[in-house]
């Protein structure tokens, strides 16, 4: 397979300016529809399942970014710029909605229902070691889904 780990396909001027990503209208005909989600260079596509009441993320990425499209369920998405004193913003995402997380953004998800996400990432995720080199763990949410230091 072509070694593409170190090739950058994008830069910050190409990224969305907001967390919630409006989707383009789908192409529809008598056969059904095609909904474009990400028309953007990427290196990983994965499915993440999460159980109701669980917490994911509680981290930031140095270089990676990701889009998360909700296939089923719902979750709270808490986020703020890394090293800022801002109170984290909160948005709730449900089926058919998508969020973008840029590098250096503290973020955490609290799952309101069993949830399945389709995730598109800038960097390859061939193994956990590669992923861990870029991610930095923080505590934005406690184990009950409450903001820490609020």
Parse the chain into domains and list their residue ranges.
41-137
pLDDT top residue among 41 and 114 = 114
Which tokens hold the place of 122? 């800038």
- The model's pLDDT over 44-57, given as tens digits with 9 standing for 90+, comes to 899 999 999 999 99
Q: What is the sign of the dihedral through the CA atoms of 128, 134, 136 and 142?
A: negative
Least confident span in 5-14, 86-95, 126-135: 5-14
CB distance 61 to 134 below 8 Å: yes
Q: Coil, strand, or helix at residue 48?
A: strand
Cross-strand bridge partners of residue 27: 34
Q: 41-137 sits in which CATH class?
A: mainly beta
- Prediction pTM value: 0.84
Predicted pLDDT of residue 123? 85
- The model's pLDDT over 67-119, given as tens digits with 9 standing for 90+, comes to 999 999 999 999 999 999 999 999 999 999 999 999 999 999 999 999 999 99
Q: What value does the mean pLDDT of the chain take?
A: 89
Other CB atoms within a 10 A radius of the CB of residue 36 amount to: 10
CA neighbor of 98 nearest in space, from 82, 78, 77: 77
Q: Is the predicted pLDDT of residue 5 greater than 70, yes or no?
A: no
Cross-strand bridge partners of residue 49: 116
Q: Is the predicted pLDDT of residue 130 greater than 80, yes or no?
A: no
């Amino acid at each position: 397979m072509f070694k593409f780990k170190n090739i950058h396909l994008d830069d910050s001027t190409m990224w969305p300016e907001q967390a919630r990503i409006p989707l383009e209208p789908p192409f529809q005909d008598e056969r059904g529809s095609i909904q474009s989600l990400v028309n953007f260079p990427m290196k990983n596509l994965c499915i993440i399942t999460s159980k109701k009441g669980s917490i994911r993320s509680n981290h930031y990425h140095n270089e990676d970014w990701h889009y998360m499209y909700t296939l089923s369920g719902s979750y709270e998405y808490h986020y703020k710029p890394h090293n800022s004193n801002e109170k984290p913003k909160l948005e709730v995402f449900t089926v058919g909605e998508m969020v973008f997380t840029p590098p250096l953004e503290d973020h955490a998800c609290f799952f309101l229902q069993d949830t399945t996400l389709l995730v598109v990432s800038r960097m390859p995720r061939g193994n956990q070691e590669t992923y861990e080199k870029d991610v930095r763990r923080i505590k934005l949410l406690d184990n009950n889904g409450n903001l820490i230091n609020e």
